[in-house]
Amino acid sequence: MGVDLEKLNPEQREGAAHLEGPLLVLAGAGTGKTRVITYRIARLIESGAAPDRILAVTFTNKAAGEMRRRIEELAPGKGALVWAYTFHSFCARVLRQHHEALGLPKTFTIYDQSDQKKLVGESMKELGLEDQKSKASLYVSLISRAKDDLLDAGSYEIHAMTSIDQSRQIAAKIYRVYQKKIDAAGALDFGDLLLKACQLLRDHAAVRQQWQEHFTHLLVDEYQDTNHAQYVLTKTLAARHKNVCVVGDDDQSIYSWRGANIRNILEFEKDFPNAKVVTLERNYRSTGRILDAAGLVIQHNKTRKPKKLWTQAAPGDEVRVQELPNESEEATWVVRRIQDEATAGRSFKESAVFYRTNAQSRSFEEALRRARIPYKIVGAMRFYERKEIKDALAYARVVVNRRDWVSLSRIVNCPPRGLGTKSLELAEAYALEHGLSFVDAVWAHGQIPGLSPKAHGAFDELTKTFESLRESVETLPAGGAMALILEASGYWRWIESELETDPEAAGRLANLQELLNAVKEYDDRQKLEGRQTSLSTYLEEIALQTDLDAYDETQPAVTLMTVHLAKGLEYPVVFLTGLEEGLFPIGGGNATADDLEEERRLCYVGITRARERLTMTYAATRRLFGQVYASLPSRFILEAKLFAGSRGDVRPSAVPGTAAVRASVAGFRNGQRVKHPQFGRGVVNEVSGSGETMKVTVRFDDGRVAKLLARYAPLEPA
């Protein structure tokens, strides 16, 4: 029995039946692209194509394995012969086969990110850059990105010379030394797999012709996520037969920050002028109303291929929009709705909560723990398990209990104090010899033989800091104590000093601020209940809350994740949270047009994960950097036409609209009294920018401060 294409809809069938020549399949969310891919490959095999001359490239090993399984079902005995790989695994296979051409040992090692970081650290030491050791992650990232752009060490050095970014110039020096070390070790990192494969095909004509001739058909999934190296590989391998099929959705291109180039899919027809284009628009996942919301949002993007998702399914429930007073109430409200779903018979695993940044998980984690609802975080650590949070709590625990040697060991040289491995080993040896704990040895550092004056000074400063903190926090509430600890320890300043050089520093700082928010909320909650609060009582509560024995992880659990990680997944019930200007989209009025388009694509991805019910939430106020700021609903809510009079629970006055824009035309001035329908009356403190980018900072009479985009802010003269 042949491959039955009648099981496909007309558009899917059109894509699966196109066997020769270039093909672009624009597959909207939930339109069944995997069926098209697998049926097309099975149909190729049925029509006489050799399965071992078909290359299908995916972005995960799991997806590659699943593709092989499905093809084997359709083409028994042959499907398993198809080359189904990730780009990196395919390149590794090619490089092992042709290792001699590049002077590589056949048994070359592939280094992971931790190996890279260690090697970068050694390179920095050789270059006398030990003072920048904390930036190793940044330089790993810059070197990896350079390789994805097909820049070897020499090329990147020339490239960096023209850059005003000093970190790129330093990275270029590190890259040269790093590459010598990795080459000497007979190893490749992930970036090398792509870079050296491209170099191999470029510089060795016989090898290039061999592979171009071998693969009669090439298929690339998730083409909108390809970087420059992957783009070059695709074009090179397809140059002989031109039988290249790329599948993807430009509306789901959300990884520019890691090198993905949306132009690869948008300009496919320029690379292959005679390409056939098939657009999949029939959605098999979501209700009509969910698709309507997604379509209304994404149509505001100018850089896209036109497409409109539709379904034969029922319209379904209204898409709900809910305003909450703050992020804590937002989390509590969402958890109550999850409980309602459970009461109605749904499993917890059918609900998912999405947010824009990892730091937002904290309030949802706490609300779920209070409700005794099991949850899991996809692709990220639990809030209280993140390094910077564990470091901060370790400081607090030593302040409260000096005998806590585990906590002291964690942060004794964090931030770096010049206490090297030798100094710590001498302290540990002294403790062992005299029957002391590590803590006691640190406090008695003056008695440790062999310690350098620098080490003595570092230990002395550390112990004095802890003694001073112990006295200071005794009379402070938990929030004040934690803030003082982060300041006096130098930990906050250390993270803050890395903002301009370490791409991860901003996230760590946001998490620390979330910790301070959590402690302040604890203080407020205890005060309302008439209880005294202290650092020790807070640490006890946290210890009890984070006890993972509270629930069985094998049981169905609510899923928490960033919107980025939700791509490719689906859930019956989705809560898309934190939809506020400046948070989602990040940057708000300060973002570039390209940034806003990517944020909009990210929102589209979030919306289209929902099968049956979608709820979008935002907080009227959010605690940021120790202050409570007023928030405005995201422009995406407006674009989706989700406001009173249409659907949802948002009050018209709370949504940026044309009336607000008209009201802002006249402009605002410092000292002017204004009123806001949601936040009340206040005074303009600052006006910056002009036209569409004008921002107005208002201090409201209740003490709240808000920085508002004038074109969206429903402000009027008071």
Residues designated catalytic = 33-34, 221-222, 252, 609
379 burial class (0-12, 13-18, 19+ CB within 10 angstroms)? exposed
CA angle at residue 273 from 272 to 274, to 5 degrees?
95
Strand arrangement of the beta sheet that strand 695-700 belongs to: 621-624, 627-630, 705-709, 695-700, 680-688, 673-676, 716-717
Of 386, 321, 277, 200, the C-alpha closest to 616 is: 321
Of 58, 89, 48, 68, the C-alpha closest to 216 is: 48
Pairing of strands 83-86, 571-576: unpaired
**How far is the C-alpha of 561 from the C-alpha of 580, rounded, in Å?**
18
Are residues 502 and 134 in contact, defined by beta-carbon separation less than 8 angstroms? Answer: yes
How many CB atoms are located within 10 Å of the residue 696 CB? Answer: 24
Of 241, 202, 190, the C-alpha closest to 21 is: 241
**How far is the C-alpha of 354 from the C-alpha of 85, rounded, in Å?**
30
Tokens of 552: 């069985």
| Alpha-carbon distances of 629 from 446, 520, 525, 697, 711, rounded to whole Å | 49, 15, 20, 10, 18
Are residues 615 and 574 in contact, defined by beta-carbon separation less than 8 angstroms? Answer: yes
Estimate to the nearest angstrom the gap between the alpha carbon of 695 and the chain centroid: 28
Are residues 37 and 577 in contact, defined by beta-carbon separation less than 8 angstroms? Answer: no
Of 237, 236, 235, 156, the C-alpha closest to 191 is: 156
Pairing of strands 244-248, 54-58: unpaired
Strand arrangement of the beta sheet that strand 375-377 belongs to: 320-324, 610-619, 571-576, 351-355, 558-562, 375-377
Are residues 657 and 638 in contact, defined by beta-carbon separation less than 8 angstroms? Answer: yes
**How far is the C-alpha of 227 from the C-alpha of 149, rounded, in Å?**
7
Are residues 526 and 533 in contact, defined by beta-carbon separation less than 8 angstroms? Answer: yes
CB-side neighbour CA atoms (13 Å) of 285 = 25
**How far is the C-alpha of 41 from the C-alpha of 334, rounded, in Å?**
43
Of 15, 24, 20, the C-alpha closest to 47 is: 20
Are residues 631 and 583 in contact, defined by beta-carbon separation less than 8 angstroms? Answer: yes
Tokens of 697: 């900072």
The number of residues making up the chain comes to: 718
Cα maximum dimension of the chain: 85
195 burial class (0-12, 13-18, 19+ CB within 10 angstroms)? buried
Q: Which DSSP string corresponds to 153-221? A: HHHHHHHHHT-S-HHHHHHHHHHHHHHHHHHHTTEEEHHHHHHHHHHHHHH-HHHHHHHHHH-SEEEES
Are residues 32 and 61 in contact, defined by beta-carbon separation less than 8 angstroms? Answer: no
CA angle at residue 543 from 539 to 546, to 5 degrees?
130
Estimate to the nearest angstrom the gap between the alpha carbon of 110 and the chain centroid: 25
Tokens of 149: 């752009």
